[in-house]
Chains A and B, each alone.
Chain A
Amino acid sequence: MKKPFSFILLVLFLTFFPWTAVFSQSLSSSELINNAKNYDGKLITYSGEAIGNIMVRGNFAWVNLSDGENALGVWMEAALTKEIKFTGDYKTRGDNLEIVGVFHRACLEHGGDLDIHANSLRKISSGRVIKEKLNSDKFNLSIILLGAIFFIWILTLFKRK
């Protein structure tokens, strides 16, 4: 008796929440872009590094998340962005975030953009500031080249005399 009851429950669950079961695993940006029609309007999980600026627009904000292949725009409540401390640029590795939200192939609210409207956000790992060290090879090469320019300059002076 227990087995049929579990089966009915499972069927009901899959009928009403199909996306929860199918797309709970994080999808790549390429998978989403290339098969946008399949995921359109579905609840998906996507993770990536927060890059660039967090663009707050009223009570909401745009955060662009890059998974290394592409960056996707994620529209979320501004309150959710408080958890984000680092966004990626030349000197910073951005926070690695996982979002669960509805994927839009051509979002009606945002002029046809391919985007995700996030319901929840989870920080997988924190970003950090990247300390830049002087590259000694480049430094040495620049000194050698400077010497070569001076050498040619001195040679031309002698030639003139």
Chain B
Amino acid sequence: MILKPRLEDVKIIGYYLGKIILGLALTMVFPILIAIPSWEINPALDFFIGIEISVLFGLLLMKICRTDKDLNWMQGMIVVSLSWIVAMILGAIPLYLSGHWKSFLDACFEAMSGFATTGLVLVQDLDHLSYAHNFWRHLTMFLGGQGIVVIALSFFVRGFSGAFKMYVGEARDEKIMPNVINTSRFIWLVSIVYLILGTLALGATGIFNGMKPFDSFFHGVCVFMAAFDTGGFSIQSQNILYYHSFVYEVITIIIMVLGALNFKLHYHLWMGNRKEIVKNIETRTLFITVIATFSLVVLGLAQKGVYPAALTLFRKGFYQLISGHTGTGFQTIYAQQFVAEWNPLALTGVIIAMALGGAVCSTTGAIKMLRIGIILKAFKEDLKRIIMPERSIIVEKFHHIREVFLEDKMVRSALMITLAYIILYGLGALVGMFYGYPFLEALFESTSAAANVGLSCGITGTGMPGVLKITYILQMWAGRLEFMSVFTILGFIFARIKGK
């Protein structure tokens, strides 16, 4: 028998959702701090209105649903999945008010793309967008990359046992510290330290490249946020091609890879355990899959003779590949070039890389390296079972911070999530094909959305059908939360209708 959720469940969900909304409202103060010294009056008003609506909504929820009770698993998961939808709607308000998005749906698409660290864009005339709005677009990536709920846990929640339930709901099932709030704070510490270093490196390179000092550092901080959080937004419409700089490309590659590594691995590296990076199953798998997918890209590009020299082939091919594999979505070629110049083999290489993603407990989306590593180990174990004598005992181990014995439970879980992602990629591709896009292009864009990458082969644009926009929004949402909290909310709605 399915139990109908009680009114109390709704109240608890509403109360904690209100808290997270107030936290989100506070983050909109940052763009105002950018707008005021830049004398951007109307953009400052856009964010002021955004804050007011968020505060109003958050306060109302907290007052109406006031409770002292803590969250249970189901409620925690629902709070997480709803907070991402609400963040999208509230985060889209200042964007829409700027007049650079054709409809509120387009602004919502951009906001979800930001929070989910995807990087697909529907902005109009990006080259004339205000500093404040551009900063907000990139800040949404920084906030979403760490996790919206992680922000609330780090700064606005003093400590409650429901914290871990929300933390897990945001697709972060690994605790770095014994306490989940300290784990959230560590994630922020890592991010802030890299933010300072990355901004300095990109800012200095910008000045060296001939940019104005203020613009260099503004671009530096924004590009860092988009790279480390494997987002892929950019300040200018040409994306990374705008800078025409090899050094800039190298620095962004380093930041993208850092963003794709597990925060737990960062912790061990920071603690001086440098061997971990060589031994860890995730980094090993990442190394293998990068080489495998890059080989496909090289073969494809060489077959068609897209680039006249090996060095240019390597520079263009590797950048798009690593950008796709880390789930960032930075481009140094135009979206149309993917279709017009790259052949299906090279495109397939990028699609596979996008579908695989980076490490768990990182800022990337997609299937992720730990799961791929576990599945490969399981294959190896099964092969051994066939080859070895029947009586032999076969035990497979892998190294992920410590030595772990491979269990069927782990393999099952990894296969389930992998299957869910493959279905999600396929569903988006079907919708794209329904609207007349060729299979490979539809699959490319769908994988990019669901794996939170942001590379585009030209389908994403204001002119694409509304249903496709909504499909990509749902894919970005489900892909970022890794299904669990999305399934919980669907179950909650079902129980509300059918339950007794």
Whether B215 lies near A53 (C-beta < 8 A) is yes
Cα of A141 to Cα of B42 in the assembled complex, Å: 12
Determine if B210 and A145 form an interchain contact, defined as CB atoms under 8 angstroms apart: no
Q: Give per-residue flags for A55-72: 1 if the beta carbon is below 8 A from chain B beta carbons, else 0.
A: 111000110101010110
Q: Considering the complex, give the chain B residue whose CB is closest to the CB of A153.
A: B59
Contacts A33-B340, A106-B316 given: A57-B210 contact, CB under 8 Å? yes
**What is the interface size of chain A, counting residues whose CB is below 8 A from a CB of the partner?**
49
CB <8 Å contact, B210 and A71: no
> Residue A10 at the B interface, CB < 8 A?
no
Q: Does A138 contact B (CB under 8 A)?
A: yes
**Interface membership of chain B positions 206-234, coded 1 if the CB is closer than 8 angstroms to chain A and 0 otherwise:** 00011110010000000000000000000
Does A6 belong to the interface (CB within 8 Å)?
no
Question: Chain B residues near A15 (CB, 8 Å)?
Answer: none
* Cβ-defined contact, A132 with B56, below 8 A: no
The answer to the question of B419 belonging to the interface, with a C-beta cut-off of 8 Å to chain A, is no
A89 at interface (Cβ–Cβ under 8 A)? yes
CA distance A34 to B457 in the complex (A): 12
* Interfacial chain A residues near B209, Cβ < 8 Å: 55, 57
The answer to the question of B242 belonging to the interface, with a C-beta cut-off of 8 Å to chain A, is yes
Q: Known contacts A55-B211, A62-B210, A112-B307; is A88 also within 8 Å of B127 by CB?
A: yes
Whole-angstrom distance between the alpha carbons of A145 and B50 in the complex?
Answer: 10
Question: What is the distance, in angstroms, from B382's C-beta to the closest C-beta of chain A?
Answer: 43
Q: Which of A34, A36, A71 contacts B238 (CB 8 A)?
A: A71
Residues in B neighbouring A61, C-beta threshold 8 A: 210
The answer, yes or no, to whether A1 is at the interface (CB within 8 Å) is no
Majority DSSP secondary structure for residues of B touching A:
helix
* Bound form: Cα–Cα A138–B98 in Å: 10
Q: Is B322 an interface residue (CB 8 A)?
A: no
Q: Distance in Å from the Cβ of A71 to the closest Cβ of chain B?
A: 5
User: B129: nearest residue on chain A (CB-CB)?
Assistant: A90
With contacts defined as CB atoms under 8 Å apart, how many contacts are there between chain A and chain B in the complex?
131
Quick check: A138 and B97 within 8 Å, CB to CB? yes
In the bound assembly, the distance between CA atoms of A30 and B340 in angstroms comes to: 12
- B186, CB-defined interface residue at 8 Å: no
B241 adjacent to A53 (CB under 8 Å): no
Asked if B128 is at the interface of the complex by the 8 Å CB criterion, the answer is yes
Which one of B39, B237, B306, B307 lies within 8 Å of A70 (CB-CB)? B237
Nearest B-chain residue to A144, judged by Cβ? B52
Asked if A73 and B340 sit within 8 Å, CB to CB, the answer is no
Partner of A30, one of B211, B307, B313, B336: B336
Whether the Cβ atoms of A64 and B316 lie closer than 8 Å is: no
- Which of B129, B315, B336 has the largest count of A CB atoms less than 10 A from its CB? B336
Q: Does B63 lie at the interface of the complex (its beta carbon under 8 Å from any beta carbon of A)?
A: yes
Residues of A within 8 A of B46 (CB): 138
A156 touches B63 (CB 8 A): yes
In the A-B complex, the 3 residue pairs with the closest CB atoms: A112-B312, A55-B210, A145-B52
**Known pairs A51-B236, A141-B49, A153-B59 / 9 extra A-B pairs, C-beta < 8 Å:** A37-B341, A51-B127, A71-B236, A75-B244, A111-B312, A111-B315, A132-B41, A139-B45, A152-B59
